[in-house]
C-alpha cells in the first residue's frame, strides 16, 4: 500500500499544449488540434468558446468561426509523452500511467506537506524542462487524487486533505466519480442515488443486483473510504507502438507504403531515444470502412532500432499484397532490450 498521500499528474490539453510549444503566437487565440475531421484537443480560449474534444471540425467552426486548426503532430506528441513519463519516473518511486499524458505517482511522501512539495516539483519541471502545463492533485486514494487534479485545471495544484475528503465522500455527485459510466449512473438514479452519501440508504442486495458485484464493491469501498490507494508500477517494457492515418486535416492522403514508412521512422526514433532495440515488428493495417484489420509480423535473430532495416522489412511484408483502401496503420515493436544508459524500464501502455 502507498504509505502516504499520492499524486495524480495530468498534462493540460496535452495535444494542444504540445503544439503551443512551437506556436506561442496561438496561446491567446482559440486553437484546436484535429485528428482527421474530429477535434482531438482544444486550448482553453477555444474551450471558452464552446469547442470540445470529440466534436467534428464543422461543429467546432460553427461554435467558434475564428478557431485555428492544426493537424495532430503525432511524432511530437509521442516524444512529449515519452519525456513526460520519464520525468514522472524520475521523481516517483512508483508510476502507474493512465494514458500518454497522465499517471498516478507514489513519491514516497509521508505527509501532506511532502506530497505538496513533490507536486510543485513535478509541475515546475514539466513547465521548465518540457514546456508543458501539468495539473497535479494530491489525495489519500486514487479517486481523491484524480478528483483533485481535475479541479486543479488548468495548470494548477489542489490537495484533498482529510476534511475535504470527508465532505466529498458524502456530497460528491456520483457522475463525478471516475470510472462510473452512463449505464451505471442511470441504474443508480433508479435507486435514488445522486450523491455518494445516498449510498448509505441502499441495501447491499439492491446495490449488488442493480450494479453488479464489481461495481458494488467499488462503490461500498468509496463510501467507506477504503478505495484503491496503491500505485501499481507496471512491469518491464515489452512493446512500443505508433500509428497514423491515410487522411489528415488539409494534407494529401498517404499511400499504404507512405503510411508504413512514416510509422517506421517515428517508431525507430522513439526506440533510439529510449535506448531500446526490437527483434519483432508487427504491422496492423486498418481498412477504410467495415472489415477486419490485416496483421503482418516479422521476427529477426538480432535486435535493432535501425529505420533502414525495419523499412526493408516492411517493404518485404507488403510486397505482392493486394491491399484494400486503408484508413490507417499501426506498427508495434516488441521483444525489446536495452542498449545502455537511458533505458526506460516500464511500459507506456
Q: Is 163 a catalytic residue?
A: no
Overall CATH class of domain 172-224: mainly alpha
Q: What is the pLDDT of residue 214?
A: 93
| 343 backbone dihedrals φ, ψ, rounded to 5° | -65, 135
Which residue intervals of the chain bear CATH 3.40.1170.60?
A: 15-73
Report the C-alpha gap between 279 and 304 in whole angstroms: 7
3-state helix, strand, coil in the chain (%, to 5): 45, 25, 30
Q: Residue 121: which pLDDT band, with cuts at 50, 70 and 90?
A: very high
Which residue intervals of the chain bear CATH 3.30.1490.100?
A: 239-338
For residue 328, pLDDT beyond 60: yes
- Residue 214: strand pairing partners: none
For residue 38, pLDDT beyond 60: yes
Q: Residue 344: which pLDDT band, with cuts at 50, 70 and 90?
A: very low
Spell out the long-range contacts of 18-22 with Cβ–Cβ below 8 A and sequence spacing 24 or more: 18/73, 18/76, 18/77, 18/80, 18/132, 19/70, 19/73, 19/76, 21/131, 21/132, 22/76
Report the C-alpha gap between 70 and 238 in whole angstroms: 32
User: In the predicted model, what is the mean pLDDT of the chain?
Assistant: 89
pLDDT, tens digit, 9 for 90 and up, residues 260-300: 888 999 899 888 877 889 999 999 988 887 888 889 999 99
Q: Residue 226: which pLDDT band, with cuts at 50, 70 and 90?
A: very high
143 near 228, Cβ under 8 Å?
yes
102 near 9, Cβ under 8 Å?
yes
Report the C-alpha gap between 117 and 122 in whole angstroms: 9
For residue 309, pLDDT beyond 50: yes
Q: What is the pLDDT of residue 73?
A: 87
Q: Residue 130: which pLDDT band, with cuts at 50, 70 and 90?
A: very high
Q: Find how far residue 108's CA is from the centre of its chain.
A: 23
Helix (H, G, I), strand (E, B) or coil at 301: strand
Active-site choice (78, 101, 102, 261): 102
Among the listed residues 246, 268, 248, the one whose alpha carbon sits nearest the alpha carbon of residue 257: 246
DSSP string, 232-271: ----B--EEEEEEES-BTTBPPPPHHHHHHHHHHHHHHHH
| 51 backbone dihedrals φ, ψ, rounded to 5° | -85, 125
pLDDT, tens digit, 9 for 90 and up, residues 54-112: 899 999 999 999 999 998 888 899 889 989 988 998 999 999 988 889 999 999 999 99
Which residue intervals of the chain bear CATH 1.10.150.20?
A: 172-224
Question: Average pLDDT for residues 232-259, to the nearest whole number?
Answer: 77
For residue 341, pLDDT beyond 60: no
| 334 backbone dihedrals φ, ψ, rounded to 5° | -140, 180
CATH no. for 239-338: 3.30.1490.100
Q: What is the pLDDT of residue 250?
A: 67
How much of the chain exceeds pLDDT 70, in percent?
94
Q: What is the pLDDT of residue 257?
A: 83
Which residue intervals of the chain bear CATH 3.30.70.270?
A: 6-14+75-164
Report the C-alpha gap between 180 and 176 in whole angstroms: 8
Which residues, at least 6 apart from 289, have a Cβ–Cβ distance to it below 8 Å?
325, 327
Choose the CATH number for 15-73 among 3.40.1170.60, 3.40.50.300, 3.30.70.930, 3.60.20.10. 3.40.1170.60
pLDDT, tens digit, 9 for 90 and up, residues 143-170: 999 999 999 999 999 999 999 999 999 9
Q: Which residue has the cell 509480423?
A: 297
Question: Average pLDDT for residues 245-257, to the nearest whole number?
Answer: 75
Q: Residue 123: which pLDDT band, with cuts at 50, 70 and 90?
A: very high
Specify the higher pLDDT residue, 32 or 260.
Answer: 32
Instruction: Indicate the length of the chain as a whole number.
Output: 349
CATH no. for 6-14+75-164: 3.30.70.270
Q: What is the pLDDT of residue 346?
A: 29
- ∠ at Cα 194 (190, 195), nearest 5°? 145
Which pairing describes strands 68-71 and 31-35: parallel, antiparallel, or unpaired? parallel
Amino acid at each position: 500500500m502507498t504509505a502516504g498521500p499520492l499524486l495524480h499528474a495530468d498534462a493540460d490539453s496535452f495535444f494542444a499544449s504540445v503544439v503551443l510549444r512551437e506556436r506561442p503566437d496561438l496561446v491567446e487565440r482559440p486553437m484546436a488540434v484535429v485528428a482527421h475531421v474530429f477535434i482531438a484537443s482544444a486550448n482553453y480560449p477555444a474551450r471558452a468558446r464552446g469547442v470540445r474534444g470529440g466534436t467534428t471540425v464543422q461543429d467546432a467552426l460553427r461554435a467558434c468561426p475564428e478557431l485555428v486548426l492544426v493537424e495532430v503532430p503525432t511524432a511530437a506528441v509521442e516524444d512529449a509523452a515519452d519525456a513526460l513519463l520519464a520525468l514522472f519516473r524520475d521523481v516517483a518511486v512508483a508510476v502507474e500511467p493512465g494514458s500518454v499524458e497522465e499517471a498516478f505517482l507514489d513519491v514516497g511522501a509521508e505527509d501532506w506537506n511532502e506530497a505538496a512539495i513533490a507536486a510543485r516539483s513535478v509541475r515546475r519541471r514539466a513547465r521548465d524542462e518540457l514546456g508543458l502545463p501539468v495539473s497535479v492533485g494530491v489525495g489519500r486514494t486514487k479517486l481523491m487524487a484524480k478528483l483533485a487534479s481535475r479541479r486543479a485545471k488548468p495548470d494548477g495544484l489542489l490537495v484533498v486533505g482529510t476534511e475535504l475528503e470527508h465532505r466529498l465522500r458524502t456530497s460528491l455527485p456520483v457522475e463525478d466519480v471516475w470510472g462510473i459510466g452512463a449505464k451505471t449512473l442511470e441504474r443508480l438514479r433508479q435507486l435514488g442515488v445522486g450523491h455518494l452519501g445516498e449510498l448509505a440508504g441502499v441495501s447491499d442486495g439492491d446495490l449488488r443486483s442493480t450494479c453488479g458485484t464489481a461495481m458494488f464493491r467499488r462503490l461500498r469501498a468509496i463510501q467507506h473510504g477504503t478505495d484503491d490507494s496503491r500505485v501499481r508500477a507496471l512491469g518491464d517494457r515489452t512493446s512500443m507502438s505508433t500509428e497514423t492515418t491515410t487522411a489528415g486535416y488539409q494534407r494529401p492522403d498517404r499511400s499504404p507504403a507512405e503510411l508504413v514508412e512514416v510509422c517506421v521512422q517515428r517508431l525507430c526514433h522513439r526506440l533510439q531515444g529510449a535506448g531500446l532495440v526490437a527483434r519483432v515488428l508487427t504491422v496492423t493495417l486498418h481498412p477504410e470502412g467495415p472489415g477486419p484489420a490485416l496483421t503482418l509480423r516479422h521476427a529477426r535473430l538480432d535486435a535493432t532500432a535501425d529505420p533502414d532495416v525495419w523499412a526493408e522489412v516492411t517493404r518485404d511484408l507488403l510486397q505482392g499484397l493486394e491491399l484494400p483502401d486503408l484508413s490507417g496503420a499501426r506498427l508495434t515493436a516488441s521483444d525489446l532490450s536495452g542498449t545502455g544508459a537511458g533505458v526506460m524500464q516500464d511500459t507506456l501502455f
